[in-house]
Chains A and B, each alone.
Chain A
């Protein structure tokens, strides 16, 4: 680890003022410290956010829920309003990492979580995300864990978060503050596709700090589930995951939100599948059909082709599990 200066501002304004091209904000540190020890991230200044407050969960008058940047994953997962109105988020949070990590990890930190691509995490290996222009080692390497959706010829790294998948399905706004004031960024626009610039992972300017994530008001009468598929039963990043939220009128789907993790370069909304499902009968066969649509543009590689089918299975089963709750009267 390189030497760095720890800056501990007491206000958001000071925190923003302390930020520079060579600095990084730290929340729980579960990603940053790891990457600093590996020599992947080498900030000269680490700006601590732990004295900034930003640890409230607040219900807004319009039905939305405003989550402070520093609210821990553990706390968010068991918040009564989250459990009641957004069980899919609670499930996603609890399926991630381990208890110890969730206790440390923050909401903003999780939004900013970086990929687990092993080539990104080893400074001795070429990686366009870490060092633009050096090439992608994963493309022709060991790419079993890599993305099949949203990839480019320069990067196939997955976004590793479970929380963000649920947020993508729920719909949310990322509130950021910079020297020029406050901005609100729709969640689906916050994370960027790798394209020609995999080093650019999000729509956050160098002086900006995430202060809150605001969840959209819950869909009236919706049922939902988060399903995470992986090799072992716990403490592993998703091979494929699905957050599904559905509203029904009788047996017909009136609204659908389907988001995917583990298979894409960013928290992924399966909009084609959603559109195809609305107005249709909620049957297992229909779920399997729309699941196919979600992977129409998948770009599988040598070791990760199974993720196409696995992702489809995740969608079909998540929808079935969600709808089953409706038939059992377990509305969210």
Chain B
């Protein structure tokens, strides 16, 4: 059974359901009499709807109703508070007015008997617009109306003054494009109103937040809303907060008094369900004559929509990764005609560390110091932005171990000097970093008379393995094996759990599950020593529970038998655990990537040949799923470095490459050998299990490591992602 406890690497308990097609995803749920919605989406990016011609569409087979700004029911805005559990990213409701703010915005919704009928009729709706010239990208937005202050700014010392005094200086600007999450499973909603209650099946990373937002928008008491998301085909952040389609489906269902299913087409997954915004980041670094960092400025502008301000906090890591007395971090935004951006795997840090870790490389080279040495000498010992110690920080060990494994010390630092046949080899490295957060959480656990253990929590498993590590926690505390464990997640009828985001699900959920388990065991013991119980009269403190068995003074009884003896169905425990105490420590995760690239100058072909990543995320709860998270994030980081870019036509602000063929992510053939080293030092100051979370850190820094390796191979410093052939052609 030890292979199922925490820290071991058991397979996912839901793996078989998934690979056999038996795991029901949102749109797989079937309700009697379901009608199907299909959107009519704006084909302009800025302007207003003048008229909608609906007659032809209305006359088509199966059409039940067509909703638009002229007939959509009046609803309410959610205050959009994460703390209150009702956050959305785009506060404007669908069909709220005739305004168009972005390409692919819902302008009408056709509801029909069948999906194909709804789609055909949606195509038959003719929309006339009064079109204005859109702001199609960051540059156009800044030119039109400048920038606005964002959040997360930080300043200490005098960065500008220190920069001027620097012996070595760099002043460079990096850009990153819009990236789109592109989870395999489409955003989908199946909504219905049984007995005046709203029940929604959604592909969601945050059922509790969606429930709260729905309650506000439809003016319902919270208990009248249930959101269910038992299996999710990934989200990468795009499913953290509810998007307009879910409101449209729920409202349409209420109006036509039938269940309505609405799946967002792939093309509109690029427009109306969030994206990582475009960024422009200026880094000014200076060292003294010894190569010590004395100034560090990181000023970024990111794009947001005209309806909401989303801030990509590119400098979130910059303020604490390196020791430096003079630091200035600012975030600003500019509005463009795109849908509202949202968190995408390691928001802020992913584009931010591309810039920072590229700039550190440039700074090290400028100062004539090996990039690894430069970093090892200057990684911060404590969080200087908060003046707090780190709870646990082994970044130097990650760098040293990964460097050793990778063979960094065999590197010839001269640009273009390492060749292998037709290819030029480049070595690059970068640090990775992500915050560790633990939020409040509720959980329920029951020891049941049939010998099974049950746990529930309204968090989600977005494919990362949450079901499995909850089960492992139960194994650890009760000794009951997987075969007799049942875990239910992803339904707001369970105790309140966190969003599956910020890499905080593990650190937040497991302590609550553990606490509830202990309460259930206490309940079992309390009952067992009472009159009529199997351990009647025994001091409850002296009764032990070990491997599913109660024992005292040689008498042993499995908990199932004890419950049966007492004619009890179960012994239950509830728990509420609080967020981490952030007054004593700064909690962060650390790591280092080493990347080998190969550049074939005669074919203009760049590939990543090898990656070694060492990661310090506290204790590893499941060796298999943890490694899988880092490997996946590294591959996604390769995509960020070399392929991903949502292209907008600069004249129309419309998305051009809105499909899997033209929006490139790595395929298997692009995946190199990825060697992941997991340090596994428990961070017990953070929570009882010492786990910090591992979903996001792997993508941070990877693009910089690739860019640094590309520089080493080619001598071309690429400051604009993705790194394309054309950026390197003509080099070496």
Residue of A nearest to B42 (CB): A124
Among A57-108, those with CB < 8 Å from B are none
Instruction: Check A116 against B661 for contact (C-beta < 8 Å).
Output: yes
A1 to B122, CA, bound (A): 10
- Could you list 4 further interchain pairs (A-B, Cβ under 8 angstroms) beyond the known A1-B119, A118-B656, A233-B670? A229-B605, A235-B661, A306-B725, A313-B603
Task: Give, as a whole number of angstroms, the nearest-CB distance from B629 to chain A.
Answer: 22
User: A32 CB to closest chain B CB, in angstroms?
Assistant: 16
- CB of B607 within 8 A of chain A? yes
User: Which parts of B633-649 form the interface with A (CB within 8 Å)?
Assistant: 642-643, 647, 649
Pick the 4 closest A-B CB pairs, nearest first: A233-B669, A124-B43, A306-B726, A234-B669
A25: interface (CB < 8 Å) = no
CA distance A237 to B664 in the complex (A): 11
Residue of B604, B607, B642, B647 near A142 (CB, 8 A) is B647
Q: A3-B120, A125-B654, A317-B602 are in contact. Are A231 and B662 (CB under 8 A)?
A: no
Partner of A317, one of B603, B667, B668: B603
**B507 CB to nearest chain A CB (Å):** 35
B116 within 8 A of A: yes
A158 within 8 A of B: no
A316 in the interface, Cβ–Cβ < 8 Å? yes
Q: Is the CB of B667 within 8 A of A234?
A: yes
- Indicate whether A137 reaches chain B with its CB closer than 8 angstroms: yes
A328 CB–B CB distance under 8 Å: no
Partner of A310 from the list B604, B651, B657, B658 (CB cut-off 8 Å) is: B604
Interface centre among A3, A314, A316 (most CB of B within 10 A): A3
**List of B residues within 8 angstroms of A44 by Cβ:** none
Q: Check A313 against B664 for contact (C-beta < 8 Å).
A: no
CB of A53 within 8 Å of the partner chain: no
> Is B602 a contact partner of A313 (Cβ separation < 8 A)?
yes
Instruction: Verify B662–A309 contact, CB threshold 8 A.
Output: no
The count of residues in chain B whose C-beta lies closer than 8 Å to any C-beta of chain A is 35
Q: Which residues of B contact A39 (CB under 8 A)?
A: 123
B495 proximal to A (CB < 8 A): no
Measured CA separation A125–B649 after assembly (Å)? 11
Q: Are A142 and B123 in contact (CB under 8 A)?
A: no
Looking at the assembled complex, report how far the CB atom of B102 sits from the nearest CB atom of chain A, in whole angstroms. Answer: 14
**Which residues from chain A sit less than 8 Å from chain B, CB to CB?**
1-3, 39, 116, 118-119, 122, 124-125, 137, 140-142, 145, 229, 231-237, 239, 305-306, 309-310, 313-314, 316-317
Give chain B's interface secondary structure class.
loop
> DSSP majority for the A interface?
loop
A-B contact pairs, 16 of them (CB 8 A): A1-B116, A1-B119, A122-B654, A141-B656, A142-B656, A231-B725, A233-B670, A234-B669, A235-B667, A237-B661, A239-B725, A305-B726, A306-B604, A309-B604, A309-B729, A309-B730
B10 interface contact, C-beta 8 A: no
Looking at the assembled complex, report how far the CB atom of A152 sits from the nearest CB atom of chain B, in whole angstroms. 21
* B602/A232 in contact, CB under 8 A: no
How far, in angstroms, from A122 to B649 measured CA to CA in the complex? 13
Among B662, B724, B725, which residue has the most Cβ atoms of chain A within 10 A? B725
Judge whether A236 and B661 touch: CB under 8 Å. Answer: yes
Asked whether A316 lies within 8 Å of B602 as measured between CB atoms, the reply is: yes
User: Which of B43, B120, B607 makes the CB contact (< 8 A) with A233?
Assistant: B607
Task: Determine if B666 is an interface residue (Cβ-Cβ < 8 Å).
Answer: yes
- Give bound CA distance, A137 to B650, whole Å: 11
Q: How far is the CA of A316 from the CA of B664 in the complex (A)?
A: 27
Contact between B668 and A234, CB atoms less than 8 A apart:
yes
Closest A residue, CB atoms, query B61: A3
* B669 close to A232 (CB less than 8 A): yes
Across-interface contacts of B607 in A (CB, < 8 A): 233
C-alpha gap A71/B724 in the complex (Å): 37
Q: Is A2 within 8 A of B654, CB to CB? A: no
Q: How far is the CB of B609 from chain A (nearest CB, A)?
A: 12
Residues of B within 8 A of A235 (CB): 661, 667
* Residues of A with C-beta under 8 A to B602: 313, 316-317
Chain A nearest Cβ from B621, distance in angstroms = 33
Residues in A whose Cβ lies below 8 Å from that of B729:
306, 309-310
A217 to B667, CA, bound (A): 37
**Which residue of chain A lies nearest to B660 when distances are taken between CB atoms in the complex?**
A235
Contact present for A236 and B664 (CB under 8 Å)? yes
| Min CB gap A189→B, angstroms | 29
**Cα distance A61–B729 when bound, in Å?**
48
Q: Is B662 a contact partner of A116 (Cβ separation < 8 A)?
A: yes
Contact with A along B590-623 (1 / 0, CB 8 A): 0000000000001111010000000000000000
Which chain A residues border B730 with CB–CB below 8 Å? 309
- Minimum Cβ distance to chain A for residue B673 (Å): 14
Give 1 or 0 for each of B84-119: 1 = CB within 8 Å of chain A CB: 000000000000000000000000000000001001
Of A1, A119, A141, A316, most buried by chain B (CB within 10 Å of CB) is: A141
Chain B residues in 8 Å Cβ range of A316: 602
B651: A residues at CB distance < 8 A = 140-141
A2 and B123 contact, CB distance less than 8 A: yes
